Structure 1
Amino acid sequence: MLSRCQRLVIGGVLQAVRGGRPGVTASLRIAVRSSSVLASVTPENGLIDVLPRIKVEGLGAKEKVTLQLSTRDSDDMEFSSFAHYVASPGGIISNMANISVGGRYQGVSPAGLMSSLKTTPDVYVDNPILKYKRLGKTNVTTPLNYTLTVLPGHLTEGDLYSERRLPKSLATTTFSRTFMAPGVKRIPVEGEKIEGTLFLPAGHGPHPAVLDVFGTEGGLIEQRAAMLASRGFASLGLAYMNYKHLPYRPTSLPLEYFDGAVDYLQNHEHCQKGAMGILGSSKGCDFAIILASRRKEVKAIVTINGTSANFNISLTFKGEDIFPIYDGNFEIKRRPDDFSQCLLPEDSYTPDHPLSLPVEDIADDCEALLITSDRDGFLTYRAGVALLERARLRGKDNIYTLCLPGAGHVLDVPYLPHIPYTTIKPSNYQGDVKSLPVFWFGGNYYDSARATETFWRYTLNHFSKKLIHEPEMRKLQEE
């Protein structure tokens, strides 16, 4: 026999988070225990950019509890976060309204538990570098499965992650998030002169296309391209270094390789022709701007925390060096907290520098949105300001900037964890991999969580405005 409280919860009307996939009904999973405490997450299943709404009911008035969230990545390594809450006089806790008074974050932060996930101590006890591992999915066809546990009292990090015995949980529930909406197709791109993965939205198309390029961490990162397809864009996640036969740490790259990625999308039968977009992060911003300045098919680009000049990797065309490496001093500085920080030369932010990225050559019918974070610990938001000034000095009014407060270098799809630091292995590094330098990326959990929401909304709207002309398809992006 269900209690009155249980009947009320089960019979309640729940509304999916704005941004959920059209046609997918919100669902609820409740962990029913012998106690009266009930935990729920809505929607139970959804895309990663749909915020989980957490609710705990049946607690005592002003009862202190710890909410712990955990998940495992594609390597089966555990990530966990926790926060301290005090129940309302009615015995309720909600991540949408209640204040966290301790743990990984404080204040009202609906995405706090998701944003503050990081590897548990047992993961990195034998390899300290794994402390800075980034949560992601190398296999985006499977979901991230989360477990939410309600524990009595305000437990510390030592309480939760030591070998001591934890108190019995008050309630537990699970939910999942995926990167591929129903009907999205994943197509490996091999033997096409480029390396990557194409994601096609449901339906025959033709679909508006976006090229997705990350920074010098290299490899092939698929989760953002998969999410772009889940939101209606055919997206090619492109690898250009540290992947298969591609060079590990190149000093130069042929522009023809990136032209090949544009050609691939423009020639694909399920992709819209004549208009496409590019999304670039960090070093990927360089390629987005350079391609937009040379290819008439590119009608919209979004860049995330790039530089204003070309560093590290020169670009060649037909064997000739057309975008040489900036010749200023590139300094790696050790911070007082022992993290490393990248410092670019001051004159690289000069709008008139001859090696600045050619924003002035972007065609008038292509719009560029340059997104920066004002707490970027790796590069700096000043690069976006310099490029905007360069464009304005040359009479261009199709370049825009958006600076996000409190965020760090990495802005990923909501609601993946904030990444305050990472390791980077230089090509000439000969030391123990466990002793790699750890670079400070900056930002904080709360502001970075909000920044990812803003970045994603602006990115989808920007591509929708420039690439989608059918009202029905544009409405799909806005829902």
Structure 2
Amino acid sequence: PGPFPGVIDIYGVGGGLLEYRASLLAGHGFATLALAFYDFEDLPKDYSNLHLDYFEESMYYMLHHPQVKGPGIGLLGISLGADICLSMASFLKNVSATVSINGSGTSGNRTIHYKQTSIPPLGHDLRRSQVTFSGLLDIVDIRNDLVGGHENPSMIPIERAEGPILFIVGQDDHNWRSDLYAQTASERLQAHGKEKPQIISYPGTGHYIEPPYFPMCPASLHKLVNKTVIWGGEFRAHAKAQVDAWQQILSFFSRHLGGTQNRVSPKL
């Protein structure tokens, strides 16, 4: 019986609805909403801009759900989903804790809108991509430089966030340089008088840090470039990182959302 601490779970540029991570969180005592934002049912088939009004509606839904205890919500996102979560934490109220898994802390390739505020896209140049020895594409350097560092206008204003932020970083991320972005986000917070955030970096770990014992995804189709790209990671190191990162995420949410971390007894 609830109510339970609430979490909104968002995936990345692949679109659609992915529920397995939300299901696992639910098994640990969190009322979790797996939130699709494009290419699912009546949602748009692609995204040209990101409007936070849609995500604000999901916050309202969770905060008023009888099984969610509040007073705040946790956010969990990976890749583009992480940047959406960081944007939500920056502009929306009642976000108590945010976990960014290999996010960039920037607007990336699309403008982020909320009411009268717009964050311009950082942009990229596909000419900076490289073809690996296996014939797959490496896009780690296609993004434009963060000119001006943490004051770049494409940076998400995370200093506005009310709750703490946990950055989970794969040091061998080949989607973009997550370690650099996390450090830049940390510099931005401290420059605005905020505490240094918790950053957990994993050597030999690629972009798709999934829950424990999920197979590592070394490469797959990337919708942005419409080609197969490498995600980085060494199998053993990546697998170990997934086990540890999951425990770190559960502990972080339990600490800041008031969860008990009591797990539902398995049926098998």
Could you state the TM-score of these two structures normalised by the residue count of structure 1? 0.52
Q: Is the 1:332–1:340 contact (alpha carbons within 8 Å) kept by the matching residues of 2? A: no
Hey, what does 1:354 align to over in structure 2?
A: 153
Hey, what does 1:323 align to over in structure 2?
A: 119
Residues 1:271 and 2:68 aligned together: yes
Q: 1:416 to 1:349 in 2, by over 3 A?
A: farther
> Match of 1:403, SS?
strand
* Counterpart AA for 1:466: H
Q: 1:398 to 1:336 in 2, by over 3 A?
A: closer
Q: 1:302 to 1:234 in 2, by over 3 A?
A: same
Q: Is the 1:368–1:398 contact (alpha carbons within 8 Å) kept by the matching residues of 2? A: no
Q: Is the 2:75–2:95 contact (alpha carbons within 8 Å) kept by the matching residues of 1? A: yes
For 2:136 and 2:248, the matched residues in 1 are separated by 31
Q: 1:245 to 1:351 in 2, by over 3 A?
A: same
Q: Deviations over 1:48-82 (max 9, x none)?
A: xxxxxxxxxxxxxxxxxxxxxxxxxxxxxxxxxxx
For 1:387 and 1:331, the matched residues in 2 are separated by 27
Hey, what does 1:230 align to over in structure 2?
A: 27
Q: Is the 1:302–1:369 contact (alpha carbons within 8 Å) kept by the matching residues of 2? A: yes
The structure in which a higher percent of residues are helix is 2
Residues 1:451 and 2:241 aligned together: yes
Deviation of 1:389 (Å): 1.2
Unaligned 5+ runs, structure 2: none
Residues 1:461 and 2:259 aligned together: no
Q: Residue 39 of structure 2: which of 230, 235, 242 is its match?
A: 242
Q: 1:242 to 1:397 in 2, by over 3 A?
A: same
For 2:32 and 2:12, the matched residues in 1 are separated by 17
* Counterpart AA for 1:463: F
Q: Deviations over 1:146-186 (max 9, x none)?
A: xxxxxxxxxxxxxxxxxxxxxxxxxxxxxxxxxxxxxxxxx
* Counterpart AA for 1:340: L
> Match of 1:296, SS?
coil
For 1:330 and 1:211, the matched residues in 2 are separated by 32
Hey, what does 2:55 align to over in structure 1?
A: 258
Q: 1:437 to 1:330 in 2, by over 3 A?
A: closer
Residues 1:283 and 2:83 aligned together: no
Aligned-residue RMSD, C-alpha? 2.0
Deviation of 1:398 (Å): 5.5
Equivalent positions of 1:107-256 (< 5 A) are: 203=1, 205-256=2-53
Residues 1:406 and 2:204 aligned together: yes
* Counterpart AA for 1:415: Y
The structure in which a higher percent of residues are strand is 1
Q: Is the 2:49–2:112 contact (alpha carbons within 8 Å) kept by the matching residues of 1? A: yes
* Counterpart AA for 1:292: A
Deviation of 1:253 (Å): 2.6
* Counterpart AA for 2:158: V
For 1:209 and 1:317, the matched residues in 2 are separated by 23
Hey, what does 1:123 align to over in structure 2?
A: none
> Match of 2:90, SS?
helix
For 2:148 and 2:10, the matched residues in 1 are separated by 23
For 2:124 and 2:91, the matched residues in 1 are separated by 26
Q: Is the 2:108–2:154 contact (alpha carbons within 8 Å) kept by the matching residues of 1? A: no
Could you state the TM-score of these two structures normalised by the residue count of structure 2? 0.90
> Match of 1:446, SS?
helix
Q: Percent of counterpart pairs with the same letter?
A: 28
Residues 1:300 and 2:90 aligned together: no
Deviation of 1:231 (Å): 0.7
Q: 1:275 to 1:350 in 2, by over 3 A?
A: same
Q: Is the 1:367–1:398 contact (alpha carbons within 8 Å) kept by the matching residues of 2? A: no
Q: Report which of the two structures shows the higher radius of gyration computed on alpha carbons.
A: 1
Hey, what does 2:184 align to over in structure 1?
A: 386
For 1:298 and 1:331, the matched residues in 2 are separated by 38
Q: 1:348 to 1:250 in 2, by over 3 A?
A: farther
Unaligned 5+ runs, structure 1: 1-202, 430-435
* Counterpart AA for 1:296: K
> Match of 2:188, SS?
helix
